[in-house]
Amino acid sequence: MNAQPQPDDLVDSWLTVPDVAEELGLDAGKVRRLLKERRIVGVRRGEPPVLSVPAAFLVPVDAANPRAAVPGRPDEEEAPVARATVLASLQGTLSVLGDVGMSDAEAVAWLFTPDETLPGRPVDALRAGHKTEIRRRAQALL
């Protein structure tokens, strides 16, 4: 794991906590809770170091998403509109990577490192719906 490239070398697009909050239609405190619960992960990057989350961890909200606004709810007028949601298979995958001893930065690096046997990167395979294969590969890292 030590020879792995750094997340900054692999991830092409990052979001700060306020950016993630805006995309998810949440406040920054709820995004920090998602980070604490490891439903998403981020790394500190830049000068000064700012906690950043790979943009690929978010996917567009589809029309059938149960988190979408319900007409007639009085609180919907004030609530921000979610443009994205967290990739559904991410939390379980992060859990497996944590179980094999990876830090958040190592997990991000692993998810974004190209793998010619996939083809592509594990995060792309997750986004394409191949969570079982990616989790199997993560478990094999033990």
| Tens-place pLDDT, residues 71-106 | 444 454 556 788 999 999 999 999 999 999 999 999
Whole-number pLDDT of residue 3: 57
Average pLDDT over residues 111-136: 94
State yes or no: pLDDT of 67 exceeds 70.
no
Reading the block at residue 72, the tokens are 């007639």
**More confident of the two residues 68 and 79:** 79
Helices (H) and strands (E) in the chain, counts: 7, 5
**Residue showing tokens 């995060």:** 123
The residue ranges of every structural domain in the chain are 7-139
**More confident of the two residues 31 and 6:** 31
State yes or no: pLDDT of 1 exceeds 60.
no
Output the pTM of the full model: 0.83
Q: How many CB atoms lie within 10 A of CB 130?
A: 17
Whole-number pLDDT of residue 82: 85
What is the residue-averaged pLDDT of the chain? 87
Q: Are strands 43-45 and 50-54 parallel, antiparallel or unpaired?
A: antiparallel
